[in-house]
Amino acid sequence: MSKYTGIISAAKDEATNQENGLPANHKTSKLAGQSETIEEVNLTVKVAKKRRQHWTAEAKRQGTSVTSVVLEALSNRFGEPEP
């Protein structure tokens, strides 16, 4: 497999998005076990800079990301949407 596979795939996705009138940074993903494509959007939360730096460093030390931790916490607290 070529080391450029990821780059080529991203370029194809960007070209498809532009053909569909979507912004170049538009992202979609498939949830586990589902065949439909889900649009990803940003979720913004204001926090103190010192907290963000601490949480980011701790997440890196534990080999995870702040995003995955936040998603897990929200799913545990509020559940998942109905299909």
- One domain for residues 31 and 50: no
Domain that residue 24 falls in: 1-40
More confident residue, 12 or 1: 12
Number of domains in the chain: 2
* Whole-structure pTM value: 0.55
**Residue 32 predicted with pLDDT over 70:** no
- One domain for residues 1 and 28: yes
Mean pLDDT, rounded, for 44-57: 96
Question: Under DSSP, is residue 48 helix (H, G, I), strand (E, B) or coil?
Answer: coil
Q: How many residues does the chain have?
A: 83
**Residue 76 predicted with pLDDT over 90:** yes
Question: Which residues share a beta bridge with 58?
Answer: none
pLDDT band at 37 (very low <50, low <70, confident <90, very high): confident
- One domain for residues 49 and 80: yes
- Separation of alpha carbons 12 and 6, rounded Å: 10
Mean pLDDT, rounded, for 43-51: 96
More confident residue, 22 or 50: 50
- One domain for residues 49 and 32: no
DSSP label at residue 1 = -
- In a 13 Å sphere around the CA of 1, the CA atoms on its Cβ side amount to 5
